[in-house]
Amino acid sequence: MKSGTTGGRDAAAVLLIVPAGLLGVALAWVLTITDALPAEGIVRVIADCTGAAVLGLAALPRLHPRLWPPWRLLAGLAGVWCGTEFAVLIFEAAEVVGVSVRRLGADQFGTFLTEISGGQVGIAILVGTGAVACYSAVSYRRAESASADLVLVFAAVALALRPITGHMSQQAFGSVLAAVHALAAAAWFGLLVALATVVRTRGEWAVVLPRYSAVAVPLIGTVALTGIVNGLVRIGGIAPLVTTGYGRILLAKTVVLLSLLALGWWWRRTWVQRAADHRMSADASLRRAVAEVTIMAVAFGLAATLAVTA
């Protein structure tokens, strides 16, 4: 199953996550009834999706010891992740300063990076994502001595940093809940993206899909539980679910999550069992994986806009 040299060949199969994530952002925009499309949400969903994909690719050996990440693809995704995180940082700086992105000056941006905690956290994220990109690029040439666990740690820390310091940090245990929610969602989504990218044959799906399914169950439960708690604490009641833009996005995200829960239940009864028994082709498994990550990407788009909605 070692796929370090050919992992990027079928990456196009999961490119639907890009328009699906943007669809989630557009849906959130409609629900908030604002005049301008949230550009930061667009950049953020790309950052979140690529970050989750990096995490999933790095976690492949944990799912099966003979699965190795495609280092060239991983390096490319980490590079995109780093670039979009820098763009997110610019949007955050403009918001703090109180100007549009176009009017943000270099001195204002520098002050944000050096004197504001959000800027300092952003620098740490850029360092982490940049390190992952550089290490993965080097590992492409030296795959035999590369450590996927090292990338996994850096990716997990980078994904957790912003939720830890977000609006939930003002609540008791809010930072922990937000970080756990972000990491569980990234692992759930990223691992399936990684499988859709790397797994080739019926036999490989028969081995790894049941293992992913076993891991996905607690991840789904964690995402649902922490998401409900975070959301209710943030809005402070039930009525704001329909009376505020934030609440309506949260409600839409919940509907998508419930749809994914129902789909996951159905997959465990049909797809997973048939794949484990070698009764489903690799192409059929790939189509189902792509369908699921596409729906997940819509939820990521909603979540990305939710994170930048007051």
Q: How far apart are CA 182 and CA 51, in angstroms?
A: 11
CATH code, domain carrying 291: 1.20.1630
Q: Is residue 148 part of a domain?
A: yes
pLDDT in tens, 132-154: 999 999 999 888 888 999 999 99
pLDDT at 91: 93
**Model confidence at 269: pLDDT above 60:** yes
Q: Is residue 258 part of a domain?
A: yes
The number of folded domains in the chain is 1
- Specify the DSSP class assigned to residue 4: T
Q: Who's near 285: CB < 8 A, 6+ residues apart?
A: 199, 202, 205, 209, 271, 275
Q: Does residue 4 sit within a domain?
A: no
Per-residue pLDDT for 305 more than 70? yes
Whole-number pLDDT of residue 167: 59
C-alpha to C-alpha distance for 111 and 108, rounded to whole angstroms: 5
Domain assignment present for residue 275? The answer is yes
Residue 6 within a domain: no
**Residue 157's domain spans which residues?**
11-305
Instruction: Report residue 162's pLDDT band, with 50, 70 and 90 as the boundaries.
Output: confident
Would you say residue 310 lies in a domain? no
Domain-located, residue 199? yes
pLDDT(168) > 70: no
Q: Which of 186, 190, 192, 183 is nearest to 291 (CA)?
A: 192
- Cβ 231 vs Cβ 223: under 8 Å: no
Looking at the chain, the whole-number percentage of residues with pLDDT higher than 90 is 62
Amino acid, res. 215: V
- Is residue 264 within 8 A of residue 293, CB to CB? The reply is no
| pLDDT exceeds 50 at position 4 | no
Poorest-pLDDT segment among 105-109, 208-212, 235-239 = 235-239
CA angle centred on 27, ends 24 and 33, rounded to 5°: 140
Asked if residue 28 belongs to a domain, the reply is yes
Question: Would you give the DSSP letter of residue 244?
Answer: S
